[in-house]
A and B are shown apart, each in its own frame.
Chain A
Amino acid sequence: MSSLFQVDGLVKRFGALVATDHVSLAVSAGEVHALIGPNGAGKSTLVNLISGLVPADAGHIVLDGVNLTPLPMHARVRAGLSRCFQITSIFREATVMDNLLLAAQAHAGSSLRWLRDRRHEQPLADTAHALAERVGLLHELGRTAGTLPHGAQRKLDVALALAARPKLLLLDEPMAGMGPEDSERMTELIHRLKADMAILLIEHDMKAVFALADRISVLVYGRVLVSGSVDEIRGNPQVQAVYLGTEDTMAEAA
């Protein structure tokens, strides 16, 4: 299996704490790779290392043959790696449309153009509409983003990441804070996105993980405990012990 994305021996220390301890994992094209693990396992740190928000102490990150390791965050996005945030990161004071225009603008020519009114740039508006349609926010375009319900704000966060047309999408707990209904809808959305990009999914909602993932890696104390198919992980006694709890919850989730 050829892997689109590879992380090799990634290390991050905060003082004496090794938050990420020689993590290696791979994501193949068209695959949803879920990353699970108990609180404090270093999932968010790993996402920040991969996206470039935090510099790694050691290790390599390669996407589609391009070494991302030395690149700053914005250059990684241009290379095809886009991310969402666990704590919704949108432009709350701006309208949904303006949020999407800003995302569209980042990937359609230079943002140093300063003598042309952006309202006259129809292609940007078209891209913004397409993004809204993709995540189901077409009817909320005029609304101030901060006034949207939580579920819709999460969708907007995803839409902002999609504007980059990523090869790999990093989703950091997309279902965080959602009720069952919103979770369901987000699961459907991610399922649709899967057709166009590989996804690295960090999620606590086991129902969603089992519904979406092709492969699962379990992170414990900054290390990858085990990596495998959904069935392998589900049947792994070690994983059940450290993370998934009793067999009853497993059966329930399945």
Chain B
Amino acid sequence: MKLERWLPWCAFAALAVFPLLAPALGLDFYVNFVRRALIFALAAASLNFILGFGGMAALGHMGFVGVGAYTLVALADAGHASAWLLWPAGAVAGGLVAAAIGSVALRTRGVYFIMITLAFAQMLYFAAVSLRAYGGDDGYNLMARPTFGLGLDSTHEPTFYWVVLALFGGVMALLNRATVSRFGHALMGIRDNEVRMQAMGYPVFRLRLADFALAGAAAGLAGALLVSHNSFVSPSVMHWTQSATLVVMVVIGGVGRRWGGPVGAAVWIGLEEIARQHTEYWHLPLGVLLVAIVFLAPRGIAGVLERRRRAAPAALAADGRPVEATP
């Protein structure tokens, strides 16, 4: 139980000091690399909030990331520079588009839901392709990174890294709080037994829509951060194969596990980098990993870690009280 509580803090502390140690270790390049991984961890965590806790197999999540990214581009192109405006705008736009898409898609179930979310994401993709003003197919180069204010230098790479880390930590805290809230419990109830939830008086559609919009907002924020990080965005970010990769990250990390999204994103992006250094055919080893995870650890890596840690307190529960299962 203790380790469970401290491990995320330890990881967070290690991530926080990394830019300070990196020059000494000759790992300067990896500061930006980890920053990108954090942004994808945020996107994966938001997808897990739909996929894992909401039980909705959505296959178009990068669409919302793209909406956040292009919202930032549109505002930056119009002359706005403050991150305080641009990033929340990305989140709000992601949430609104997710709510609009969800209000249609959530009327379907199963394979139809997968297909309709995929279809909407492709519509967003082609909409971005047709945006001539923002480069269309070729993408858009952001002239300058959004400014942070508060005396923070946005061009200083480690500073941007810490800002991303703080946002990531903040959003994870909110999402993790949501999973133990009334809302989270209701979502998981719907995932496990939808008819019973309706029969207990839950407005299932409304709750799912709120989940969808919330996850879309977090994804929109990730998109705004991603374009700030790359100083570039093109429609390919929202192509459905990107959404599929995000699903794979969540599956590897652990569907419905608290840290499943971030763990999966870190493992996937880390291994992708390693495999790329050795072979051009880096898809193959990662594909093998996915198959292995699905068969050997269907709860994902975070699920395996959680279970191992839970073994200890289980022995202590001598008073007959159950050991609390962490989602």
**A positions within 8 Å CB-CB of B:** 51, 53, 72-75, 77-78, 82-83, 85, 89-95, 98, 101-103, 105-107, 109-119, 121, 142-144, 160-161, 163-164
Contact = CB atoms under 8 A, between A and B. Distances in A.
A249 B273 CA distance: 77
Contacts of A118: 180-182, 184-185
Contact of B182 (A78, A91, A105, A164): A105
B181 A74 contact: no
9 contacts: A90-B193, A91-B196, A103-B200, A106-B201, A106-B202, A110-B182, A115-B174, A115-B178, A116-B181
Nearest to B180: A117
Interface stretch (B92-100, B203-211, B217-225, B244-252): B203-211
Interface in B152-201: 174, 177-178, 180-186, 189, 192-193, 195-201
Nearest to A88: B196
Q: 3 tightest A-B contacts by CB?
A: A77-B201, A114-B183, A111-B186
A115 B320 CA distance: 30
Contact of A115 (B181, B196, B199, B201): B181
A105 B321 CA distance: 22
A102 B185 contact: yes
Contacts of B178: 114-115
State the majority secondary structure of interface residues on A: loop
B199 A161 contact: yes
Contacts, number: 109
Contact of A89 (B196, B202, B206): B196
Interface in B293-326: 320-322
Interface of B: 174, 177-178, 180-186, 189, 192-193, 195-204, 206-207, 210, 214, 320-322
Contacts of B203: 74-75
B182 A114 contact: yes
Nearest to B203: A74
B214 A114 contact: yes
Contacts of A163: 200
A135 B198 CA distance: 22
A181 B199 CA distance: 28
Contact of B185 (A77, A82, A101): A101
B12 to A, nearest CB: 20
Contact of A144 (B174, B180, B200, B322): B322
Contact of A105 (B186, B195, B198, B199): B186
Given A113-B182, A113-B183, A114-B182, A82 B199 contact: yes
Contacts of B201: 74, 77-78, 82, 106-107, 164
Contacts of B204: 74
B149 to A, nearest CB: 26
Given A91-B196, A161-B199, 8 more contacts: A74-B198, A74-B202, A74-B204, A95-B322, A111-B182, A142-B322, A160-B196, A164-B200
